[in-house]
Structure formats: structure tokens, C-alpha cells
Structure 1
Amino acid sequence: MLIDSHAHLDSPRYSDDREAMLRRAADAGVGAVLSIGIGEGPAEMQQALEICREFNGKPGMPRLYASAGIYPHNAAEADEAAQAKLDNLLAQPEVIACGEIGLDYYHDGAAHPVQREGLICQLKIAAARKRPILIHCRPKDGEADAWDDLFEVLDEHWASTGLGGVMHCFGGVWEQARRSLNLGFLISFAGNLTYPKALPLRDVATRVPIDGILVETDAPWLAPATLRGKRNEPAFVTQTAETLAEIHHLSADEIAAATTKNFARLFSLRL
């Protein structure tokens, strides 16, 4: 069984075929999907949970879990009402993680200090609810600014919780992966790992121990190389898993078993 540890199932791009898309995932051997609850802002945080409740229990479907969080670009919207909504969502049994949250200095969005304060606020809420976090970190090209600021925040406000989390769609260098692992994070690789020009990322992946890895799609974005430019979906996580298997000289079944075990351990699940 494979687990897609990060997919935006509430995307409007699935509005016409969401159920069929989930059945394709199950047919491909994807046994569970973590549905990311950021929407287009705090007003839509609950959509991932709603999808879980709509489809869980239906035959021929993967098991769905949800997250909830305020994306870095929307950090200015993290007012008291949004914080209370996040806290309530994290109290729901299907919502196993807070995220994706973090810092994004690549795109235009909330000012960097606002992103930092929004992140710290959510770390406090997640810690009180004992939920691991899903981190989005994207620096400017050729710089490590967002990573430096992220680790400063995590060292001060998260490390002591022992809750860990996931470095989603990891795109950093080995030193950033190493620091993440030391903080109790799993490193999650997406379809960009399969791209021909992703040799530096594959080099990092070879150094990440098997018990520190997850696979994801980040669907509907980042379809793997053979499908690049098309809408991504959880069924395609198999291609990222196959690339990781090749890198680590393991079978696809061994990578599936290891990443499933890692997911279950982080989120204290019985799968």
C-alpha cells in the first residue's frame, strides 16, 4: 500500500470527477491520502475535512485524512476568528496535521514578518492540539533566506514539542534535509523528483534514510515527468515511489511499506 501524504483534493480541478479520481488512486494501490486543508484561504480550511467525511467508508476508495492550516501567502488573514477555526478543525479526529504552513519568499504574498508571525501562531495552536505540522518552505532562487528563517522559528517554537512533522515537497539541499531530520521531520518527495533536471534533488534523496521518507503528489500540481503538464492526481504517486525505489536500490513494494510505516508512526495511526 502507498500513501499520498499531500494532495489538494478540494481543488476545483477535481470538481467534475473527484470520486472517479479517488477510485483510480485505490486501483493504483494508494491506500490512503492526506487531504490538505488550506483552500484559497482560511474561509475554505474546512473543505478537506468535508471531503474526508463525504468519501470515507465508500467501497473502492482510499482512506482519507485531513489537515488544516493557513498558507504563508494568507498569513495576514490569521486573525482571531481564523485561529479559532483552525483550533476547532484540529480537534476533529480526521484532522491529523496542521498545514501546510511555513514561509514562502519566492512568490508575492504576505510580508515576511507577517508570514513568520502567522507561522508562530499556528505552531502554538498545533502544539496545544498535539498535531504534527506540514511545512511549506520556498526561498528565492539561489538563496537560503526562507530556510534560515524557518529553522530559527522551529528551533525556538517547535523543537521542544517533540511532535515533528513533514517537510512537504522537499526541494532543499542536504544540510536542510539533515536539520529537518534532526528536528523529527520526515522528508516528503513529490513528482518533481522524477524530472530529468532534478539530479541534485535525487542526490539528496539518496542520503535521506528510508525511515525518514514520505511520498506525495502535491496534486493537482507537479505531475511526474511522464505526465508533466497534465493535472496530477494521487494515483500518480506510484511514479515518485518508483524513482525512490531505484535511488535506494529497493523494490517498489519495499518503498511502499517503508513510507506507509513512516506515515503511521508520525501520525500515530494503525494502518
Structure 2
Amino acid sequence: MFFDTHTHVNVEAFELDLEETLQRANENGVTHFAVVGFDTPTIQKSLELSALHDNIYSIIGWHPTEAGVYTKAIEEKLQQQLIDKKVVALGEIGLDYHWMTSPKDVQEKVFRRQIAISREHCLPISIHTREAMEDTYRILKSEMFYGGIMHSFSGTVEDMYRFLDLGMHISLSGVVTFKKAVDLHDVAKKVPLDRLLIETDAPYLAPVPFRGKRNEPSYVRFVAEKIAELRECSIQEIAEATMKNAKELFKLR
């Protein structure tokens, strides 16, 4: 049984076949989902889905590419939404220096503000970092928070150990199945089993053999299979460990 700890089935790519997508996931052993909302419409859709499905949970927050439009009104609304009992983390938040839709100082301000909000609500955080590993580490090291996830981790083993020291979990996506992702292969071998999570980031980052196509939660199995291959263990061991880790981090029974 698998827990897809980061999926975006709340976006337009799944508008026409969402129920079929969820059914395929269940048929492939995906029993739990964390649906991530990152702006006003996707946050609302995430909350709607988690209200409708017992096995869907919400992670909601303001994405760094949207930092430039973060306002007091948005924050007040987010504060209200975080009270929802199906919300298990605040995210995805962080820094994105690839798209640079907002200046670095604006991204950092919104990032730090949301970390503070996560403390108020005693929620873990889900971190997006793209071409901003050092600044992400610097900020997290200087803040207090209730644990969290390095979503779709893309760093080296050395980066991994630094974030583990801050209390973070390492979440691996379909990228770990890519032939040239040698740093991630090393991470998959060395990350402590009790700090490992798996995800799809669907509809993005589809694993081999679906690379380049729309990703979906049922494909999280291929992430688990690759990690098991690299660690020379059973897929059941990966499934059980990552399920346990997710439930403990999200405070689920």
C-alpha cells in the first residue's frame, strides 16, 4: 500500500478523468493521497477533494512562483483554511529561482511568513526549492518549525544530510527513475528509511516508463520499485516504511 505524499490531481490536467484516475491509483495499491493546493483555485479544490474522500488529505500554501501576489487577504483566507481537519501540512512553500516570477527578497519574505503560520497551526511544511538550495537551507536553519518534507528532492547526498539534520523528510519523485539522475540514486540508497517519503508530483515528473507523459498517482509504484532496486530490498519494505513515515509526520491514525 502506497501513500502519494504530493500530488496535484486538483489541477486542470485531471478535470475530465479525476475519478478514473483515483480508481486506477487504488487498483495499483495507492491507498492515501496528499493533494497539494498552491494558489486560490487549487487550494479550494484540494479542500473539496479531501472533504469528499476519506483517504485524501490536503496540503495547502502559497507557491513561491505566486509570491508576488501574496496579500494580507490571501493570508487571512489561508489561516482560516488551515483549520480544516483534513489539512496535514502547509505547502508547498519555498523558493524558485528558475522562473523568478518574483524577486528573491519577496520570495523569502513570503516563505518566512508561511513558516511562521505553520508554527501557529503546529503543522509540518512541504518545501519547494528550485535552483535555490543554499538559500532554502539558510532560511530553514534560521527558523523553527514542526518538521516537514523536502518535496521532490533534487539535491546531493551532502544536501540530504544537511536537511535531515534540520528534521526534514526526504521525498523522492519519478525523477529517481531517470537514468542520468545519479545523485538521486545515491540519495535513495543512503537516506534513512525512517525519513523517506515517496510522491508523484502528478501531473508532472512522470517516472520511467511514462516519462514525458502525464503523471498520475498510480505511478508512485514505479518510484517505490526503483528505490527498492537501488537499496536491494523489497518493494513491500519501501511501501510499509513510507506509509508509516507519512502517517506519523501528518499525525494520522
What TM bracket, shorter-length normalisation?
A: over 0.9
8 A Cα contact 2:11 2:42, kept in partner: no
Name the TM-score, length of structure 1 as normaliser.
Answer: 0.91
Aligned counterpart for 2:158 among listed residues 175, 193, 214: 175
Which amino acid counterpart does residue 91 of structure 2 have in structure 1? G
The equivalent of 1:9 in structure 2 is 9
Amino acid at match of 1:28: N
* Inter-partner Cα distance in structure 2 for 1:108 and 1:116: 12
Contact 1:6 1:217 in 2 (8 A): yes
Could you tell me which amino acid in structure 2 is paired with residue 3 of structure 1? F
Question: Which amino acid is the alignment partner of residue 269 of structure 1?
Answer: L
CA distance in 2, matches of 1:17, 1:147: 35
User: 2 CA distance for matches of 1:26 and 1:43?
Assistant: 25
**1:177 maps to amino acid:** M
For residues 15-164 of structure 1, the aligned pairs below 5 Å read 15-38=15-38, 41-54=39-52, 56-57=53-54, 63-139=55-131, 146-158=132-144, 161=145, 163-164=146-147
Per-residue CA distance 1:224-251 (angstroms, 9 max, x = gap): 1101111110000000000011111111
- 8 Å Cα contact 1:42/1:78 also seen in 2: no
* Residue identity in the other structure for 1:33: F
Contact kept? 1:68, 1:97, Cα under 8 Å: yes
Matched residue pairs, number? 253
Where do 4+ consecutive residues of structure 1 move more than 6 Å?
none
Cα 1:44–1:219 shift into 2, 3 Å: closer
Matching residue's letter, 1:101: I
> Does the CA contact (< 8 Å) of 2:47 and 2:58 recur in 1?
yes
The Cα shift of 1:107 comes to 1.5
Identity level (%): 40
Q: Counterpart of 1:226 in 2: which secondary structure?
A: coil
What's 1:215 paired with?
198
Report the secondary structure of 1:227's partner residue: coil
Partner of 2:248: 265
Code of the aligned partner of 1:66: S
Q: CA deviation at 1:42?
A: 3.3
Q: 1:200 aligns with which of 173, 183, 199?
A: 183
Deviation readout 1:15-68 (Å, 9 max, x if unpaired): 111001001101100010000011xx33542221112223x15xxxxx100011
Render the CA deviation track for 1:211-268: whole Å, top value 9, x for unaligned. 1110000000111110111111000000000001111111111100000011011111
SS in 1 for 2:37: coil
SS of residue matched to 1:225: coil
Distance (whole Å) between structure 2 residues aligned to residue 202 and residue 109 of structure 1: 31
- Rounded Cα–Cα distance in structure 2 between residues aligned with 1:3 and 1:148: 29
Task: Please give the alpha-carbon distance, in whole angstroms, between the structure 2 residues aligned to 1:47 and 1:127.
Answer: 24
- SS of 2:187's equivalent in the other structure is helix
Gaps of 5+ in 2: none
Corresponding residue for residue 143 of structure 1 = none
2: CA distance, partners of 1:108 / 1:136: 13
For 1:124 and 1:43, the matched residues in 2 are separated by: 23
Measure the CA separation in 2 of the matches of 1:27 and 1:269.
Answer: 22
With the length of structure 2 as denominator, give the TM-score of the two structures. Answer: 0.97
| Alpha-carbon distance in structure 2 between the residues aligned to 1:250 and 1:44 | 37
> Are 2:88 and 2:251, in contact at CA under 8 Å, matched by a contact in 1?
no
Residue 203 of structure 1 deviates from its aligned partner by: 1.1
Asked whether the equivalents of residues 101 and 133 of structure 1 are also in contact (C-alpha less than 8 Å), the reply is yes
